[in-house]
Chains A and B, each alone.
Chain A
């Protein structure tokens, strides 16, 4: 029985160690905001959201598979909530479960684990019911397959079989087992056997009276009651051996059942996060759409692409950008400071991740090529270590990225290699960018290095798109990028003027 809501043919493994790029992506793209919107302060959901968000699916079919499941759940949020509640019932540990371990006696431990198993088992009919109710309504391959499996596997005969086991494993009866003689004649290789049909009480009572006696089938009975306390204790010790066997059976049964419910919970948890995020974005007045995985390997075409993290932080509708970059390995973004360059870059990164996670995208429309890996090289504000020069630090980071690059990867640069003078920085950047795009990678480069941007523009490299953060004539920003040649200066002067209130006109810093 497989859940397979995240992948058509494999489980969603939320325990995979974080990928090499994860820390940088989390920081540079401010993904914590997104994860918070998906999961609130639920640690489990946070982990699932994070892992799901960073799936980086490369196959368009895999992306569409998830999109379909998500569409089903967006249309039926209450079904998702019910399913998630069932799966969570089994997996949220109750405080007393931890407490009981402190006072562990085999018998009480077994009692507890039998109780848990019984509880998990009671979830099964409910699960089947939900499946039966919705199997006809859902559209996605993933959900309808899961529902059909639940209906088939949890039929009445099966539920009866489970019930019989639960009754057999009842502790109040005698434990039936066998053993053989091991080293030092110790009992070894204990094996548990199903109970036989029980004898009537009075018959057993006669046997106790007799104490020890030989019966027709050559068995011997020892009654501890006719001996001392020590005998009772020894008998209890041996019985514990049997209880351990029963415990083992119960625990492993529980474990099997739990392993299913846990994966169910994790996979549903991802969609719970998606639905929550969609609600949050819609509430702030921002659009979402299901992205189209592009056929080519270097396409970014969008209308109204915005940074969802900015939308969530400001809590209102934000400006989106239109880009039409088809077969474009290089997008160079230049222009005014605070003109929305970095925001645009982040929106590209986040949208890329969301699209490759099978989620909706933060845009009116988006068509994007899946990449083989997303990398960010953002200029760091401070170098905490101070052991290497800033340029040296940037080069170290870049070189580490290169070690992980594969053809088809997407690298986002934000003001990289600007730590030295403009000429030097441009030269280094240019060499890196050219080597990357000529080796089959995609690059989005945000820079204020005019020398770099202009040089690339002059070369008229095929498949290059130039975007510019414009300046309106009144000096205020529209935050919407336009296509066009790089302008020779940034607009730091504007920012300066706004901050210092027009002091620049008077020819120098205020004060």
Chain B
């Protein structure tokens, strides 16, 4: 076995189950809370949230994850991984049942079932990974580990024991003769399936497909009562060796789960849950791609990008999604967004923040040709509705917060500012806003600023102006154009006929093609 540690971290750091992540301050402002909640929904048992709360700061660490994610983009591999994790989930509930059973043979049988599920899942995954064309360092090293593990003597012994015992159990058939008040249990003789006999007699009448035979299982997973115990004891007496092997199996294979396999099961959910989350967005024709990231260059760009949380919501409502481009080149650092309300300004600002955050997790992001900067801190400032009524007290809080922010901000920080100082007069807002701006300019940090004050653009050559507009064509349904034509009699009716492709030539073509 090799030194594989994690498919999430390049530096071989184990993801620690006790890790607790605090949500960054900007999490709610950028709707990242919605995204993460939706991504991890349904995977509660894996404690995935902390994994989504740790942005990476080195390009290599990001690329390490991007490689793994790209491998998992392969639909076949994705499905196989999903089958594996489903099996591990099933195994866990089987183990839970085993622990719950008071009657020893029953508990032993559930333990065997769990081991069977595990052995099959691991063996299949190992084979699947061998077949798959994987290229990431993370998956390759896990594949090596798994290959070594499945050919290790311990695993081979486990697998051998599981299958031998299952085969023995399959032979434990018993005959029951159930009367109204008594039952006789014994070993079966060579007997036919009478249902088949009966059906054979009536087969000649069968006209179409008739529902096939259903194999019934009687629930005995709950704690057994007196009667079931006694029946089982009869069967145990008919097959004493089988029941002894069952007890021996549990004794020799009590803990069989490999810790690295268990870690993989959890960590791979980081990728698969996110890829599953963006799948419908991609199906709707929107791009979610792997960004180029750099901790050195502040050149930022994205084509046809969008707010991922909003896109999910709009897709659900069947509303078309508007995409936007971003571009900051050369010395450009600041996007000043002005324009009428309801024009998507806030969404644009969120999108900028989301892109950077998701990229720092090593995940694919909305848009094409995306190039992003790896930040050390991100700060968001979103005007809340209630701030408007609070007055001066609020303004002071706002300033205190900003002071703290600037105390720790660095040239590698990113600022997302949405309508600062709206609770003051315009004159104050210009003054205060200019102060804030000057600091950001001095830091040479990346910034998106949504504002109604267009003077800000003039503050520095590093600022770029963007405007939202109410596009009159947006959302308007295409209609048949109405043009004036001279009234020439035939043209009208023939025009309608031709519109329906019923003109002589067109119609003949339709009929002969």
Taking A184-B101, A439-B511 as contacts, is the C-beta distance between A220 and B198 under 8 angstroms?
no
- Would you give the 0/1 interface string for B475-500, flagging 1 where the beta carbon is closer than 8 Å to chain A? 00000000000000110111011011
- Would you give the 0/1 interface string for A220-258, flagging 1 where the beta carbon is closer than 8 Å to chain B? 111111010011101100110110110011101101110
The one of A189, A234, A239, A427 that contacts B180, using a Cβ cutoff of 8 Å: A239
Q: Is B442 engaged at the interface, CB distance under 8 Å to the other chain?
A: no
Contacts of B235 in A (CB 8 A): 181
- Bound-complex Cα distance A427 to B211 (A): 58
Q: Is B208 engaged at the interface, CB distance under 8 Å to the other chain?
A: yes
Q: Is B331 engaged at the interface, CB distance under 8 Å to the other chain?
A: no
Contacts of A427 in B (CB 8 A): 490, 493-494
- Please tell me which stretch of A132-140, A333-341, A347-355, A391-399 contacts chain B, meaning at least 4 of its Cβ atoms lie within 8 angstroms of it: A391-399
A256 touches B186 (CB 8 A): no
Contacts of A259 in B (CB 8 A): 205-208, 210
Q: How many residues of A contact B (CB 8 A)?
A: 91
The one of B192, B195, B203, B234 that contacts A245, using a Cβ cutoff of 8 Å: B195
A224 touches B182 (CB 8 A): yes
The one of A178, A260, A436 that contacts B188, using a Cβ cutoff of 8 Å: A178
B182 touches A178 (CB 8 A): no
The one of A248, A260, A395, A402 that contacts B499, using a Cβ cutoff of 8 Å: A395
Contacts of B213 in A (CB 8 A): 248, 252
A423 touches B217 (CB 8 A): no
Q: Is B279 engaged at the interface, CB distance under 8 Å to the other chain?
A: no
Q: Is B219 engaged at the interface, CB distance under 8 Å to the other chain?
A: yes
- Please tell me which stretch of A26-34, A162-170, A288-296, A495-503 contacts chain B, meaning at least 4 of its Cβ atoms lie within 8 angstroms of it: A162-170
B226 touches A252 (CB 8 A): no
- Please tell me which stretch of B76-84, B124-132, B148-156, B501-509 contacts chain A, meaning at least 4 of its Cβ atoms lie within 8 angstroms of it: B501-509
- Please tell me which stretch of B12-20, B102-110, B366-374 contacts chain A, meaning at least 4 of its Cβ atoms lie within 8 angstroms of it: B102-110
The one of A189, A221, A435 that contacts B508, using a Cβ cutoff of 8 Å: A435
B490 touches A187 (CB 8 A): no
Taking A193-B191, A223-B181, A249-B194 as contacts, is the C-beta distance between A423 and B113 under 8 angstroms?
no
Contacts of A263 in B (CB 8 A): 207
Q: Is A441 engaged at the interface, CB distance under 8 Å to the other chain?
A: yes
Q: Is B327 engaged at the interface, CB distance under 8 Å to the other chain?
A: no
The one of A186, A231, A261 that contacts B218, using a Cβ cutoff of 8 Å: A186
- Bound-complex Cα distance A248 to B199 (A): 10
Contacts of B195 in A (CB 8 A): 191-192, 245, 248-249, 252
| A198 → B minimal CB distance (Å) | 10
Taking A219-B184, A399-B501, A402-B511 as contacts, is the C-beta distance between A177 and B203 under 8 angstroms?
no
A208 touches B500 (CB 8 A): no
Taking A223-B181, A424-B492 as contacts, is the C-beta distance between A180 and B500 under 8 angstroms?
no
A176 touches B175 (CB 8 A): yes
A186 touches B219 (CB 8 A): yes
Taking A238-B183, A241-B218 as contacts, is the C-beta distance between A178 and B174 under 8 angstroms?
yes
Q: Is B134 engaged at the interface, CB distance under 8 Å to the other chain?
A: no
Contacts of A234 in B (CB 8 A): 225-228
- Bound-complex Cα distance A193 to B201 (A): 15
Identify the interface centre among B109, B173, B180, B213: most chain A CB within 10 Å of its CB.
B180
B199 touches A253 (CB 8 A): yes
The one of B231, B493, B507, B510 that contacts A420, using a Cβ cutoff of 8 Å: B493
| B386 → A minimal CB distance (Å) | 49
Taking A184-B101, A435-B507 as contacts, is the C-beta distance between A235 and B181 under 8 angstroms?
yes
Contacts of B106 in A (CB 8 A): 184-185
Taking A161-B201, A257-B205 as contacts, is the C-beta distance between A398 and B500 under 8 angstroms?
yes
The one of A174, A185, A191 that contacts B193, using a Cβ cutoff of 8 Å: A191
Contacts of A439 in B (CB 8 A): 508, 511-512
Q: Is A431 engaged at the interface, CB distance under 8 Å to the other chain?
A: yes
Contacts of B402 in A (CB 8 A): none
B194 touches A239 (CB 8 A): no
Contacts of A61 in B (CB 8 A): none
A248 touches B214 (CB 8 A): yes
B496 touches A224 (CB 8 A): no
The one of A162, A168, A428 that contacts B502, using a Cβ cutoff of 8 Å: A428
- Bound-complex Cα distance A231 to B201 (A): 37
- Bound-complex Cα distance A399 to B197 (A): 57
- Nearest B residue to A191 via CB reads B193
- Bound-complex Cα distance A371 to B145 (A): 70
The one of B183, B199, B220, B237 that contacts A186, using a Cβ cutoff of 8 Å: B220
Q: Is A11 engaged at the interface, CB distance under 8 Å to the other chain?
A: yes
A178 touches B504 (CB 8 A): no
- Bound-complex Cα distance A227 to B183 (A): 13
Q: Is B459 engaged at the interface, CB distance under 8 Å to the other chain?
A: no
Q: How many residues of B contact A (CB 8 A)?
A: 82
- Nearest A residue to B214 via CB reads A248
Identify the interface centre among A168, A181, A218: most chain B CB within 10 Å of its CB.
A181
A435 touches B496 (CB 8 A): no
| A256 → B minimal CB distance (Å) | 4
Taking A179-B176, A183-B109, A439-B511 as contacts, is the C-beta distance between A252 and B501 under 8 angstroms?
no
Q: Is A58 engaged at the interface, CB distance under 8 Å to the other chain?
A: no
- Nearest A residue to B193 via CB reads A191
- Bound-complex Cα distance A239 to B177 (A): 9
- Bound-complex Cα distance A179 to B230 (A): 16
- Bound-complex Cα distance A434 to B186 (A): 84
- Bound-complex Cα distance A396 to B179 (A): 71
The one of A180, A191, A207 that contacts B172, using a Cβ cutoff of 8 Å: A180
The one of B202, B215, B232, B497 that contacts A256, using a Cβ cutoff of 8 Å: B202
Q: Is B75 engaged at the interface, CB distance under 8 Å to the other chain?
A: no
Q: Is A102 engaged at the interface, CB distance under 8 Å to the other chain?
A: no
- Would you give the 0/1 interface string for A148-159, flagging 1 where the beta carbon is closer than 8 Å to chain B? 000001000000
Contacts of B208 in A (CB 8 A): 11, 259
Q: Is B97 engaged at the interface, CB distance under 8 Å to the other chain?
A: yes
B202 touches A253 (CB 8 A): yes
- Nearest B residue to A396 via CB reads B500
B218 touches A188 (CB 8 A): yes
- Nearest A residue to B492 via CB reads A424
Contacts of A219 in B (CB 8 A): 175, 184-187
A438 touches B508 (CB 8 A): yes
A398 touches B184 (CB 8 A): no
- Bound-complex Cα distance A282 to B218 (A): 64
A399 touches B502 (CB 8 A): yes
Q: Is A99 engaged at the interface, CB distance under 8 Å to the other chain?
A: no
Q: Is A125 engaged at the interface, CB distance under 8 Å to the other chain?
A: no
Q: Is B178 engaged at the interface, CB distance under 8 Å to the other chain?
A: yes
B496 touches A392 (CB 8 A): yes
- Nearest B residue to A406 via CB reads B511
- Would you give the 0/1 interface string for B229-263, flagging 1 where the beta carbon is closer than 8 Å to chain A? 01110110110000000000000000000000000
Q: Is B169 engaged at the interface, CB distance under 8 Å to the other chain?
A: yes
| A48 → B minimal CB distance (Å) | 16
- Bound-complex Cα distance A135 to B203 (A): 24
Q: Is B384 engaged at the interface, CB distance under 8 Å to the other chain?
A: no
A428 touches B178 (CB 8 A): no
- Bound-complex Cα distance A427 to B490 (A): 8
The one of B170, B197, B493, B503 that contacts A194, using a Cβ cutoff of 8 Å: B197
A222 touches B113 (CB 8 A): no
| CB<8 Å pairs between A and B, sample of 8 | A181-B172, A238-B218, A248-B213, A250-B198, A252-B198, A431-B497, A431-B503, A431-B507
Which A residues have a C-beta under 8 Å from some C-beta of B?
1-2, 11, 153, 161-162, 165, 168-169, 174-194, 196, 204, 207-208, 217-225, 227, 230-232, 234-235, 238-239, 241-242, 244-245, 248-250, 252-253, 255-257, 259-263, 389, 391-392, 395-396, 398-399, 402, 405, 420, 423-425, 427-428, 431-432, 434-436, 438-439, 441
Given contacts A186-B221, A193-B191, 5 further A-B contacts (CB under 8 A): A162-B201, A208-B181, A259-B207, A420-B493, A438-B508
Counting from the closest, the 7 A-B pairs by CB-CB distance are: A219-B186, A234-B227, A424-B493, A186-B220, A439-B511, A260-B205, A395-B500
